[in-house]
Amino acid sequence: MYESLRYIHGGKFISRGSWKHPERIIDSNELILVTKGAFSITQGETVYSVSAGDVLFLLNGVRHYGTETTDDEVSFYWIHFTCDCTEELPPVFFRPESPVQAEVLIRQLLHYAGTDGYPRECCEWLLKVLLTELTVEYRKSQSAGHRIYSMVKEWVRINSDLPLKVSDVAAYFNYNEDYLNRIFRQSYPDGLKSYIDRMKLLRIKHDLINEAMSLKEISEKYGFSDYKYFLKYFKYHEGVSPTKYRQTYYNVHMNNS
């Protein structure tokens, strides 16, 4: 899969003032993962309204241009690559169940691309993993048809900055805890508690690499009353301390309008 994949370059764009995506036709494919704000862009004859968490592919040889000017701050990661296997790529536009996981992979890729000593193949290996991750996320979003599971996982995702427990989720949806866990395990075998931890950790990792907050502030934001427990919790799940994680994948090319 993705045997012909070649990484070209990438970075993170941050708008400055009023901004509209420029009109152009590129001789590569471009993967965009939006991290902040929203904008509108036309590709071919289709208009896409893109916002934080969305993935958009701009395709080789297809004209695209910004449809409207926005005054709000917009930021997104962008990766240019070539590939003869376009039919294997995820859809041109979709929203992953967990965009933060893709963001972490992109930061790894950009770190290796911008740091001396790493062979070019590292970027292409990571790009293959990233595209595979996005493909899996898309399939999950299409096949997770169970109504209760879909509602619960989305509610947990947007509330994962709260000190959630399985009992809190069950109470909100007015279900018995055991029943809700059984339903959830049909689509997510590790169970609801594991999913809560996963969403919380993804948010924490996002803040560690994107926000200028102290570890204590992040600890309080995510409902940890005991700072030392927060440090142990993170290291138990991730294998490294929050400080060590924050210092990883720091070398990311930046650009703005």
Q: Which of 4-13, 42-51, 105-114, 209-218 has the lowest mean pLDDT?
A: 209-218
Q: Residue 179 pLDDT > 80, yes or no?
A: no
| CA distances in angstroms from 234 to 53, 105, 218, 229, listed in the order given | 24, 19, 12, 9
Q: Kindly state whether residues 85 and 212 are assigned to the same domain.
A: no
Give the pLDDT confidence score for residue 53 in this predicted structure: 87
Of 89, 111, 143, which closes a domain?
143
CA-closest candidate to residue 113, choices 86, 144, 139, 81: 81
Provide the number of structural domains found in the chain: 2
Cα separation, 88 vs 111, in Å, equals 26
Q: Residue 144 pLDDT > 50, yes or no?
A: no
Give the pLDDT confidence score for residue 230 in this predicted structure: 93
Q: Residue 18 pLDDT > 70, yes or no?
A: yes
Is residue 251 one of the residues assigned to a domain? no
Of 143, 162, 194, which closes a domain?
143
Q: Kindly state whether residues 120 and 19 are assigned to the same domain.
A: yes
Q: Kindly state whether residues 135 and 156 are assigned to the same domain.
A: no
When pLDDT is averaged across residues 141-154 and rounded to a whole number, the result is 71
Q: Kindly state whether residues 158 and 131 are assigned to the same domain.
A: no
Q: Kindly state whether residues 105 and 11 are assigned to the same domain.
A: yes
Q: Enter the tokens of residue 136.
A: 């899996």
Q: Kindly state whether residues 120 and 94 are assigned to the same domain.
A: yes
Q: Kindly state whether residues 116 and 202 are assigned to the same domain.
A: no
Q: Kindly state whether residues 121 and 25 are assigned to the same domain.
A: yes
Is residue 1 one of the residues assigned to a domain? no
Give the pLDDT confidence score for residue 250 in this predicted structure: 66
Give the pLDDT confidence score for residue 145 in this predicted structure: 41
Question: DSSP letters of 184-224?
Answer: HHHH-TT-HHHHHHHHHHHHHHHHHHH----HHHHHHHTT-
Going by pLDDT thresholds of 50, 70 and 90, the confidence category of residue 138 is confident
Is residue 214 one of the residues assigned to a domain? yes
Going by pLDDT thresholds of 50, 70 and 90, the confidence category of residue 146 is low
Is residue 257 one of the residues assigned to a domain? no
CATH number at residue 106: 2.60.120.280
Supply the mean pLDDT for the chain: 89
Q: Which of 26-35, 134-143, 165-174 has the highest mean pLDDT?
A: 26-35
Is residue 222 one of the residues assigned to a domain? yes
When pLDDT is averaged across residues 105-125 and rounded to a whole number, the result is 94
Q: Kindly state whether residues 73 and 191 are assigned to the same domain.
A: no
Going by pLDDT thresholds of 50, 70 and 90, the confidence category of residue 147 is confident
Q: Kindly state whether residues 112 and 32 are assigned to the same domain.
A: yes
What is the extent of the structural domain holding 106?
6-143
Give the pLDDT confidence score for residue 66 in this predicted structure: 96
Q: Kindly state whether residues 16 and 83 are assigned to the same domain.
A: yes
Is residue 71 one of the residues assigned to a domain? yes
When pLDDT is averaged across residues 191-200 and rounded to a whole number, the result is 92
Condensed to tens digits (0 to 9), the pLDDT of residues 32-77 reads 999 999 999 999 999 999 998 899 999 999 999 999 999 999 999 9
Q: Which of 10-24, 105-119, 177-191, 230-244 has the lowest mean pLDDT?
A: 177-191
Is residue 159 one of the residues assigned to a domain? yes
* Pairwise pLDDT comparison (230 vs 149), residue with the higher score: 230
pTM of the shown model: 0.63
- Please compute Rg for the chain using Cα positions: 19
CB neighbour burial string for 66-77, b if at least 16 within 10 angstroms, e if fewer = eeeebeeebbbb
Cα separation, 236 vs 38, in Å, equals 36
Of 90, 123, 143, which closes a domain?
143
Q: Kindly state whether residues 175 and 100 are assigned to the same domain.
A: no
Report residue 95 CA to chain centroid gap.
Answer: 9
When pLDDT is averaged across residues 175-203 and rounded to a whole number, the result is 87
Is residue 256 one of the residues assigned to a domain? no
Give the pLDDT confidence score for residue 175 in this predicted structure: 84
CATH number at residue 241: 1.10.10.60
CB neighbour burial string for 23-58, b if at least 16 within 10 angstroms, e if fewer = eeeeebbbbbbbbebebbbbbeeeebebeebbbbbb
